Structure 1
Amino acid sequence: MIVLNETKVGYAYVLLAATLWGLIGPFAKLAFQEGVTPLEVAFWRATLGAFFFGLHVLVIGKWRVKGHDVPAFVFFGLICVGLFYGAFQKAVDLGGASMAAVLLYTAPAWVALLARLFLGEQLGNLKLFALAATLLGVLGVSLGPDGIKALHNGSWNQAAIGYGLLSGLTYALYYIFGKRYLEGYSAATVMVYALPIGAIALYPWVEFQDKTATAWYALVVLAFVSTYGAFLAYSAGLRRLEATRASVVATFEPVVAAFVAYIWWDERLGPLGLTGSVLIITAVLVMVWSKSVPRRRKSC
């Protein structure tokens, strides 16, 4: 009988979470193919996700929020759910699942800058290197499969890049805002309030369409598998691993997204795109590793 230790189980859970997150782009494209608009996909992901998290907090009983924290929950829902979900789905629609997933992982660079501004964290040489690598990586991914030709003929999709970078920025705010205001709550409690607020923010911009059974299937998978299920798997992994190690394993997400997008939609990043992807993921690993290196004590 093989007995796995807790660390190995933790890695397995986080790898599962990254895999489930990596399915967001491909299943969103499936919904688009069935006539559902990007913002409607974002709306239903938030709404159905809130339903599943609602059942969860009813079971565990952690649903109370202190009155003075309500504005923080509202802001978190508007920006980190409404704007983030909407921007990411638009990036998938305009640039493809692979590009959207890679640009989403500019988040660590945004975290470094925002943490310097709002949390007082210092930018060392490793972080500056990671920021530079991220910017070069974004350029490579943005040029797409046509590479340099896209620069000369202006065919690169600026809107897709903008939405992708915006999704990375708003995803980064999960860390910044959560670190400063929402540490006293479980992630499930935060999400059960933030998701409906995000859905309400998206509602006025949504053009609802008649949906096929395939469209509903894609939406339910996004909500249950890639939102609720991914959260449960990641939380289980964090209980067994250091946050730093969990973050490293989570960078498997864009790899999954790119692989599935290639199989389903024949999406290709091209040589520069692949190089850019490697640079961005390397920057993420450097950023995470720099947090784990202990600072030397100053001599008296």
Structure 2
Amino acid sequence: MSASRQLGMRRGGGLLAVYAAAALWSTIGVATRLGYTAGCSPLGILVARQALAALATLLGLVAGLYRPSVVFDRRVIGIALTLFTPFYVSYYYAVEALGVGRAAALLYTAPAWILAYQLTLEHWKPGSSKLLATTFTIAGALLLAGEAWGGLVSPGGLVWGLASGAFYAATVYAAARIITGLEPSSVAAGTQAWLLPGALAATVVMPGSVKVTLQCLPAAAYLAIVVSHLSYILFYRGLSKGVEPHRASIAATLELVLSMAWGWLLFSEPFTVLYGAGVVLIAAAQLLAGRG
């Protein structure tokens, strides 16, 4: 087998890992709703999720599943505290100001931010296919938000929404830069563990109370183990197999498509023509993203 074919198969496996991660992320809304119904506040879910994620990392270290040298690597800690924490906080404020649909749509401006980082930091110029894939992704995300755009958009909410997309893109870009030579599972475990200090700090600066009930702990545990640990292990494994950041960010928009599907299947949310058009654009973006 030629080296180029081996590389192609390796990247193909990595892309499947990214899609699997996006599928797991798509269940965030369902699990969070169940947590709210069980008595957790938004900040309560955030703190419980990250506390349990940190506990899972600790248990993984004791069991020898993760490498201490990676979990305590200053680059991993830096990504968690300087990029993941503001990403979570800005997205929280975006949801508060804009609602879930519009906030999610602005979150998926991430491919455009990654292109901007690559252009600025690497002087890398994308081809027309990547530019078109980025345009289709953002347009598809906006269409999937559908009727959510019917109301007024506050300037503050718009800033928070765009900031969440920028910081999300930065977490992907930075992780791709450091993942070479580091064990992906340990990188995922480390970033999730070091998010706990950020979550605790958020309770000081963000409005609302920290309310956690025993009944909502199963939802928090699911978010910690499946959505935080397992999904990021898959995502970072994809990056380690050569899936470049821009393509990974576009593949991750499967999350938005599936989250809309869960709402339709489980909560009887309407599936409109706009949703269908958004799905078509995002599907087209997947095909274009792999080209030059």
Return the TM-score normalized by structure 1.
0.72
Alignment of 1:198 onto 2:195? yes
Which residue in the other structure is 2:6 paired with? Answer: none
The equivalences for 1:99-114 within 5 A come to 100-114=103-117
Q: CA deviation at 1:76?
A: 0.8
Rounded to whole Å, the distance in 2 between the matches of 1:20 and 1:188 is 16
Rounded to whole Å, the distance in 2 between the matches of 1:104 and 1:76 is 18
Alignment of 1:60 onto 2:65? yes
Rounded to whole Å, the distance in 2 between the matches of 1:73 and 1:9 is 24
Return closer, same or farther for 1:11/1:284 CA change in 2, 3 Å cut-off: closer
Contact 2:43 2:210 in 1 (8 A): no
Which residue in the other structure is 1:42 paired with? Answer: 46
Which residue in the other structure is 1:51 paired with? Answer: 55
Residue 228 of structure 2 aligns to a residue whose secondary structure is helix
Rounded to whole Å, the distance in 2 between the matches of 1:269 and 1:205 is 35
Rounded to whole Å, the distance in 1 between the matches of 2:54 and 2:224 is 8
The equivalences for 1:1-300 within 5 A come to 15-58=19-62, 59-60=64-65, 62-64=67-69, 70=74, 72-91=75-94, 100-141=103-144, 144-145=146-147, 150=150, 154-156=151-153, 162-181=159-178, 183-206=180-203, 207-234=208-235, 243=243, 247=248, 250-268=252-270, 270-280=272-282, 282-283=284-285, 285-286=287-288, 288-290=289-291, 293=292
One-letter amino acid of the counterpart of residue 191, structure 1: A
Which residue in the other structure is 1:298 paired with? Answer: none
Moved more, 104-113 or 85-94: 85-94
Contact 1:251 1:281 in 2 (8 A): no
The runs of 5 or more residues in structure 2 that have no matched partner are: 1-8
Q: CA deviation at 1:23?
A: 0.5
Rounded to whole Å, the distance in 2 between the matches of 1:133 and 1:258 is 18
* CA displacement 1:42-88 (0-9 Å, x = unmatched): 33323322222333344135111599x62x34431124321223344
Q: CA deviation at 1:41?
A: 2.6
The runs of 5 or more residues in structure 1 that have no matched partner are: 294-300
* CA displacement 1:198-233 (0-9 Å, x = unmatched): 221231332544433332121111111111122344
